[in-house]
Structure 1
Amino acid sequence: MLHNIDLNKMNQLMKENKDAKQIISQLLENHHTAVSTIAHEIRNPLTLVSSALQVMEIQHPEVKDFSHWSQMHEDVDFMCSLLNELSSFNNSDSLHYSVFSIGQLLKNIAVSFAISLDEHDNHIEFSSDIAPDLHDFTGDKIKLEEVLLNILKNAQEAIPTDTLHGSIHMKAEQIADMLIIKITDNGCGISADHLESIFEPFTTYKQNGTGLGLSLSKRIIEAHGGTISVNSVPGKETLFTLRLPM
């Protein structure tokens, strides 16, 4: 797996040397192909295993009482999720551009997320402040939605269930030719020694996390020419800031 520092060095070398650009481009293409092939080949038999377990449960309900049966189910589901995120990460810098209303997209995401909270987490209050004068945006609508929902979900999971007044706030505004999106939560926060590594692939500090969500988000935002940053005060507040050129 290539890390951000590896990709940055490669990009710099490609700018400085035309011969190196051709060689590195081919290597990157081979790398993406290999990762996609491996993920695909593993996912197929794993899907069959998952289906077989479901059939066994239907035909023999007593297996649910077997020791470690539920844990086995969780492990298979986790591996499927990991492979799906690996495929998404591998293709995160391949964008399908269109021109769309970023304001409407943000409103749709806000409504969708608020509904999901009403169904599961009544102790969390969600609010949004989306500027009414946002210009149309050119980018990958689906991948940007994926990024925002991922960060909002992380914010939701960061708020302990015993918190009486959890809150998540999303703000979006346009300053000059830059779209600024800020997502704040009053959850558990992120310690200073973890802040520098949370965007690295396979780095996670939550149970059952794959460690690809934030690294995937970073690659998608950077593919749009933007940046993503985080500030956090443990036990008080976490703020994710996305900056995207309009």
Structure 2
Amino acid sequence: MSRWKSIVNAMSFGVLVIDPDAHIQDINHEGESILGTSRKRILNTSILSFFANQQLLLEQIRQCFATGRSINLDELSQLRTSASKPTPVEVILSYHDEMSAVMVLRDMSKRINIAKNNALLFDYHYVERILSEVAHEINNPLSAILGSARLIQESKDTSVIPLASIISEEALRLEGMLANIRDFARPPRIEYGQVNIHRLLKHLVNRQQPLLVQREIEVREHYDPSLPEIAADEEKLYQVLLNIFKNAVEASSLRSSISITTGVSLGDVPGIGYTTWLIVRIADHGTGVAPDHKEKLFMPFFTTKPQGTGLGLPISMKIVSAHGGKIDVESTVGIGTVVSVFLPLKRRQASAHQEVNYDRGQ
């Protein structure tokens, strides 16, 4: 009996024994994990209390006992646990005898996240191909425009020089936009080295001091001194953190504050599966992001800024994803936004550390 108990406890899905009244008679370790509580606390309590669709589940349990047949619920059920969001689960009921049935619970949140990421990746690949072609087609006439503007500026007719300056400035702005498009359209090449994340962040804050002083924004740094160096591309990681930090500054009002926090997280991030993470959190007390906008933050060309390209966060996400990491955004309108960058601490050995130009390409 103990051998079978060990086997059931080793399973990667929840296994519960329930009676005809839907009371829990036994549960394995994964079942405890999915429900977010211990076996001792839930024995002889109703499984229905964990589900949003209680009536539907009760009907299925009664049907299972009445017919003696297994039942696979057609739709995913929503578990209500201590987690902030309901957990989607697959539910299978299997009749055992007139006093007991086996309920199998499979947490589907990771699979759903992977499916969403794959769908987004497919969209990215399509957009990348289009953007690559667009950038190529625009580049030639843009070069001609810049060349013509320089010739006009060298002209003896001083009345046309201001017009040439306008043409040149706008063409250079378009050239910068094309550079962003090219960055997004091609996979990032990651050159690993040993990165001291705190040195990187301090350098970033120091370089932004003129803007911070101008807007009277205080930066509060809370760094975990125990963090080791991380295997990453220092220059590209700086690009990511600079983009997030600038967004925080732009969202902040005058005489406000931004906090930068580092730490370690132990556990799993859906769809990726590393167990030990270095986290950088950049929090502002700005306007916040509307819920309908939050879902679009990493979509190419979505922006709420008058002069924005909508490529900063998508490029940042690509860079972090190439490191095996993830970016999360939590935001409340009128309160502020917290952007968390997760980077794996456990990964392959990196090449020897080399000094890089932090501001290259900025």
The TM-score bracket by the shorter chain reads 0.7 to 0.9
CA 1:57/1:188 → structure 2, altered by over 3 Å: closer, same or farther? farther
**How far apart, in 2, do the equivalents of 1:194 and 1:46 lie?**
33
How much has 1:57 moved relative to structure 2? 4.3
**How far apart, in 1, do the equivalents of 2:150 and 2:218 lie?**
37
Q: Which residue matches 2:217?
A: 124
Structure 2 counterparts to residues 201-212 of structure 1, below 5 A = 201-212=300-311
- Map Cα deviations across residues 170-218 of structure 1 (whole Å, 9 max, x no partner): 1112345311111111222211110001110111111111111111111
TM-score by length of 1: 0.75
Structure 2 counterparts to residues 12-91 of structure 1, below 5 A = 35-36=131-132, 38-40=134-136, 42-57=138-153, 59=155, 60-63=157-160, 70=166, 75-91=170-186
Contact 2:219/2:258 (<8 A) preserved: yes
2:331 maps to 1:221: no
Structure 2 counterparts to residues 135-146 of structure 1, below 5 A = 135-146=228-239
Q: Which residue matches 1:167?
A: 257
How much has 1:61 moved relative to structure 2? 4.6
Amino acid in the other structure paired with 2:180: E
**How far apart, in 2, do the equivalents of 1:94 and 1:130 lie?**
28
**How far apart, in 1, do the equivalents of 2:296 and 2:189 lie?**
24
Amino acid in the other structure paired with 2:263: E
* RMSD, aligned CA: 3.2
**How far apart, in 2, do the equivalents of 1:109 and 1:31 lie?**
31
CA 1:33/1:74 → structure 2, altered by over 3 Å: closer, same or farther? same
2:257 maps to 1:152: no
CA 1:223/1:43 → structure 2, altered by over 3 Å: closer, same or farther? same
How much has 1:36 moved relative to structure 2? 4.3
Identity %: 33
Greater relative contact order (CA < 8 Å, ≥ 6 in sequence): 1
Task: Specify which of 185, 194, 203 is matched with residue 99 of structure 1.
Answer: 194
Q: Which residue matches 1:25?
A: none
Task: Specify which of 118, 124, 127 is matched with residue 8 of structure 1.
Answer: 118
**How far apart, in 2, do the equivalents of 1:9 and 1:233 lie?**
27
**How far apart, in 1, do the equivalents of 2:291 and 2:127 lie?**
33
Q: Specify which structure has the higher proportion of helix.
A: 1
**How far apart, in 2, do the equivalents of 1:237 and 1:46 lie?**
39
Q: Which residue matches 2:293?
A: 194
Larger radius of gyration: 2
Q: Which residue matches 2:353?
A: none
Task: Specify which of 271, 279, 282 is matched with residue 183 of structure 1.
Answer: 282
TM-score by length of 2: 0.53
**How far apart, in 2, do the equivalents of 1:237 and 1:9 lie?**
29
**How far apart, in 2, do the equivalents of 1:231 and 1:64 lie?**
48
Number of residues of Structure 1 aligned to a counterpart in Structure 2: 220
Amino acid in the other structure paired with 1:203: F
- Map Cα deviations across residues 145-190 of structure 1 (whole Å, 9 max, x no partner): 100000111112223xxx4422222111234531111111122221
Q: Name stretches of at least 5 consecutive residues in structure 2 with no aligned partner.
A: 1-113, 267-275, 346-362
Q: Which residue matches 2:3?
A: none
Contact 2:298/2:314 (<8 A) preserved: yes
Q: Please state whether the residue corresponding to 1:117 is helix, strand or coil.
A: helix
Q: Name stretches of at least 5 consecutive residues in structure 1 with no aligned partner.
A: 13-27
